[in-house]
Amino acid sequence: MKDAIIEFKNVSYKYAASEENGAEKYALNNVSLKVHEGEFLVILGHNGSGKSTIAKHVNALLLPSEGNVYIDNLDTKKPDNLWEIRKRAGMVFQNPDNQMVATIVEEDVAFGPENLGVEPSEIRKRVDGSLKKVGMYEYRKHAPHLLSGGQKQRIAIAGILAMMPKCIVLDEPTAMLDPSGRKEVINTIKDINKNYGITVILITHYMDEAAQADRIIVMDNGSIITEGKPKEVFSKVEMMKRIGLDVPQVTELAYELNKGGIQISQEILNVDEMVNAICQLK
């Protein structure tokens, strides 16, 4: 396996007390985590479990109260590393409208590399290349606010790609999208991971999205409570329910069938696998 591109070493993070959020509180408790180059990692957990706090540590928007985060072996706590870290790790957020900064798509995508001081001819190449990667090149002269939610998120992803990062963290990028927008964005994320080797951390509430990851970590109350391949994590139906998470519907069906005495594989993630398993029943 390749080296870890992202490493959390015993990271705890404490938010200061505020009027809005009450007393000071640990949002992360001693989290250790390695993400390998080229990996597609999903983070699951109910609201308030610490997922966004993890995401914000990856590009040094937050610094650990205790412990360390290393991006490509660069310690996020060293101020001199900040630019190098932001070049390597891009973030995409939930609300596409908050991420648009320009009135024309290609200017929006150029914003990141411009800020990095990339020279104009190189920016041109990167903008075109990034828009092609997310399938939005023919929209380059359009106004972002007229696009659909899924298209806007693909533009946001293109804007990150134009900075040529090694990893992208997406914090519930599909939460505000309709089913077809979700599909567009997930396919784009999978494509940049598989075909361009970009390491992906995806935070999502959608189990069908999580099922496509190489690995899932599950957060509860600021700690990682389990991790593994999707089949491993989702086979822990009782544990997932206990912490308020679902598993894919077909996985739950397999679980219920087993409880009812029908011996069917417990490692079913999609309809095709369910059909195969049912056909093999005697």
Binding site for ligand ADP (CB under 6 A): 15, 18, 21, 25, 27, 45, 47-53
Binding part of the chain for Mg ion, among 47-55, 78-86, 97-105, 159-167 by CB under 5 A, reads 47-55
Q: Would you say 243 or 253 has its CB closer to ligand ADP?
A: 243
Are 15 and 27 a contacting pair, CB within 8 Å? Answer: yes
Among 8, 44, 50, 52, interactor with Mg ion by CB under 5 A: 52
Cα–Cα distance list, 275 to 188, 271, 272 (Å): 28, 6, 5
Query: CA 11: distance to chain centroid?
Result: 19
Residue type, 193: N
- How far apart CA 201 and CA 38 sit, in angstroms, is 10
Q: Would you say 51 or 154 has its CB closer to ligand ADP?
A: 51
Q: Would you say 48 or 135 has its CB closer to ligand ADP?
A: 48
Binding part of the chain for Mg ion, among 49-57, 84-92, 260-268, 274-282 by CB under 5 A, reads 49-57
Backbone angles phi, psi at 125, to 5 degrees: -60, -45
Q: Is 199 in the site for Mg ion (CB under 5 A)?
A: no
Q: Residue 53's binding partner, choosing from Mg ion, ligand ADP, none, with beta-carbon cut-off 5 to 8 A by kind?
A: ligand ADP
Q: Would you say 49 or 199 has its CB closer to ligand ADP?
A: 49
Q: HSE (CB half, 13 Å, CA atoms) of 84?
A: 12
* CB neighbour class for 149 (10 Å; exposed up to 12, middle 13-18, buried from 19): buried
Q: Residue 76's binding partner, choosing from Mg ion, ligand ADP, none, with beta-carbon cut-off 5 to 8 A by kind?
A: none
State whether residue 201 is helix, strand or coil.
strand
**What is the DSSP code (8-state) at residue 18?**
B
Q: Would you say 173 or 248 has its CB closer to Mg ion?
A: 173
Q: Which residues bind Mg ion (CB under 5 A)?
A: 51-52
